[in-house]
Structure 1
Amino acid sequence: MSYLKTLLLTFCFIFTAAIHAESTDLAPELEVFQPYLGTWQANFYIADNKTEIQDVGHWERALNGKAIRTTHSINEGEYGGESMIFWDSKKKLLVFYYFTTAGFYTQGTMKVLSPTQFVAYETVTGSKEGITKVKSSSDFKDNQFVVSTSYLKKGEWTKPEKRIYTRSNKQVIFK
């Protein structure tokens, strides 16, 4: 009898785990983001800042695969943000909203350039630094991704800032 109970409990455990396992299916328009799922970090310097900055980001499937949710924090919570990326079937575009701990937000669109590359265009609302637009490009290769970002600040585009993200075990932290 003990063997039968053990076998039955094992079967129930496996069956329950299979039911509750997270699906990795994404809407076809979001498939470009499949390799980005998980946690990443980049260590970098800003041109006029000699202090190293660490950005930790987490990408995850959301809304039954109809969206991608990203969260990130810089220097363990000094700054952070969260975005939702989704396919707008009316506009036929990838659309996203990005909200920050600094009190500003952005609305943007993304254009997929290849199975490993996309570019994002954002309009900024509420920046205290005078930033009104952002353009960034991302390229995934060799299990890392490179992001190059320029800002329209006080009417002039900044020189692109490049960051290389690698897999990480760190956590996104909001204070």
Structure 2
Amino acid sequence: MKYLLTAILLLCTHIASANGKLASELQVFEPYLGTWESTFSMGPEQPDVTDVGKWERALNGTAIRTMHSINDGAYGGESLIFWDKDKESLVFYYFTTAGFYTQGTLEVTDDGSFVAYEDVSGSIEGITRVKSTSSYVDGQFVVTTQYLKNGEWTPEQQRHYSRSQKEVVFK
């Protein structure tokens, strides 16, 4: 009985120590883990929107799960980011409440930022590609995005996210 209790204790200790670890290919995302919020304009004469996003360790640290919702669930999406051994690249899939999805790759830069290249399927707005650059700067998550819409790249949009206690909401 004493050996069984010792074995259980060792197993629990091992599981507890492994809980917070990310695969080495994903460790660049460590600063992004947690919940983030940004309020920004979608254009002239349009009301501001609030985007709440959560980044978390998934699948025993072999993936990052992201979820976000705009305006308490008016729109939202979920992603899984993981290392694809065959492609030798970080890849992701993003599924939305609007019925479209994207798939893409991520490139990590020397300064720890990352660039995402997405192929979009099913967008009713004519968006077929997205390019975004994300950086962790002075405790903020800064995202610069461009969309290939109807064959032309849109001007860059930049959003600054701060740590938040809000929840991601899906309706």
Q: Please say which of residues 73-82 and 39-48 is displaced more in the overlay.
A: 39-48
Q: Give runs of aligned pairs for residues 54-93 of structure 1, distance below 5 A.
A: 54-93=50-89
Query: Which residues of structure 1 form unaligned runs of 5+?
Result: 1-15
| Consecutive aligned runs of 4 or more in structure 1 exceeding 6 Å deviation | none
Q: Give runs of aligned pairs for residues 5-154 of structure 1, distance below 5 A.
A: 23-154=19-150
Match of 2:153 in 1: 157
Shift of 1:118: 0.3
Paired residues in the alignment total: 161
- Normalising by structure 2, report the TM-score: 0.89
In 2, are the aligned partners of 1:82 and 1:100 still within 8 Å (CA)? yes
- Residue type matched to 1:116 in 2? G
Shift of 1:47: 2.5
Match of 1:172 in 2: 168
Distance (whole Å) between structure 1 residues aligned to residue 141 and residue 76 of structure 2 = 20
Query: Which residues of structure 2 form unaligned runs of 5+?
Result: 1-11
Shift of 1:49: 4.5
- Normalising by structure 1, report the TM-score: 0.87
Partner of 1:30, secondary structure, is helix
Question: Which protein is bigger by CA-based radius of gyration?
Answer: 1
Shift of 1:115: 4.7
Distance (whole Å) between structure 2 residues aligned to residue 64 and residue 43 of structure 1 = 32
Partner of 2:72, secondary structure, is coil
Please give the per-residue CA displacement for 1:95-149, whole angstroms capped at 9, x wherever unaligned: 0000000000000000000353000000000000000000000010211110000
% identity of equivalent residues: 61
Shift of 1:19: 5.6
Match of 2:9 in 1: none
Please give the per-residue CA displacement for 1:54-106, whole angstroms capped at 9, x wherever unaligned: 00000000011000000000000000000000000111100000000000000
RMSD over aligned Cα, in angstroms?
Answer: 1.8
